[in-house]
Copies of this chain bind each other. A is one copy, B any other.
Amino acid sequence: MSKKEVIHLYKKVIEDLRAAIENGDYQTGDLLPSENELCRSYDTTRVTIRQALSALANMGYITRKHGKGSIVSEPKTGLGILSVSGVTAGIGTQKLTTTILQKPIKQDWPADFFFPIDDSESKNGCIFFSRLRHINETPVLYEETFITNVDLPRFSSRSLENRSLFKILKEFYNVEVTEGEQKIWAIHADKNISALLNIKTSHPVVHMKRRLQTNNKGVRIYSSLFCNTEENFLRDSF
C-alpha cells in the first residue's frame, strides 16, 4: 500500500532480532548483543531495548540470565496439535503425501456437528474439505476439516495438495492457531474408514475430534480424523 507505515522502534528491534535468530545468525546457546550494545546500535535507551527483549523472551526465542546476557533458546517445539509421526524420530526420512479427496467447498454446518457452533458461525456456513495422508504410499490418516466461513476470501480455490493448511492460513490470511482442544478415542474402523485406510474393519484406529482457535476470532478450524497407528503414531509437543 502506498500509505507510508511507521514502525515503532521497539517493534523494529524485535523483528530484527527475531529475523536474525530465525535466519540462523544466532544459534541456540549464543548470546545476543548486550542491552548496552543494542542501545548504541539503535541509538536508543535501555527501556526501549528491554521492552523488545522481554517480548522475545515471552515468545520463547531467548532466555534472560541476570548478569550474563540474553541466550538464544531451543526453538519452541509445538503448540500441542497432534499430527502423524513416524516410528523413527521425525518424518523426514519418510515420504508424507496428501491427497485431497474433497476439495474445499462452502456448505452449511452439518446438523449435530461434533462441537457446539455459535450463532454467528452458524449463519455463515463453513468451508469443508477432506484429505487422505500417506506415508510411503500407505494411507494412514483420513481427515475431514470444517473452517468457519469468515475472512477467508478465495480459500476454496486454493490448492491444498501436499501443502500445510496452517502454512496457507499464515501466508495468505495472516491467521495463526492460538489455542484449541482435542478429544481422542480408540475405535474399530468402520467400513468407510477401512476402505480409505486399506485396513480390516476390526483394526483399531485413533479417532480424534479437534477444535482450533486462531488469532482471528472469527476463524476456527474443526477437524475429525482417523489414524491407523500400526506403523506410526500421533504425536504432539507443547
Contacts and interface: CB of A to CB of B under 8 A. Distances in A.
Helix, strand, loop or mixed for chain A's interface? strand
Nearest to A188: B204
Contacts of A47: 47
Contacts of A185: 206, 229, 233-234
Interface string A188-230: 1000000000000010111000000000000000000001010
B205 A202 contact: no
Interface residues of A, number: 31
Nearest to A207: B186
A54 B234 CA distance: 36
A58 interface: yes
B187 A77 contact: no
- As for how many copies of this chain the complex holds, the number is 2
A236 interface: yes
- For A58, A85, A202, A233, the residue with the greatest tally of chain B CB atoms inside 10 Å of its CB is A233
B186 A206 contact: yes
Given A82-B182, A180-B237, 15 more contacts: A58-B58, A77-B179, A77-B181, A79-B238, A181-B237, A181-B238, A183-B235, A184-B206, A184-B229, A184-B233, A184-B234, A187-B204, A188-B204, A202-B202, A204-B204
Interface of A: 47, 54, 58, 77-80, 82, 85, 179-188, 202, 204-206, 227, 229, 233-238
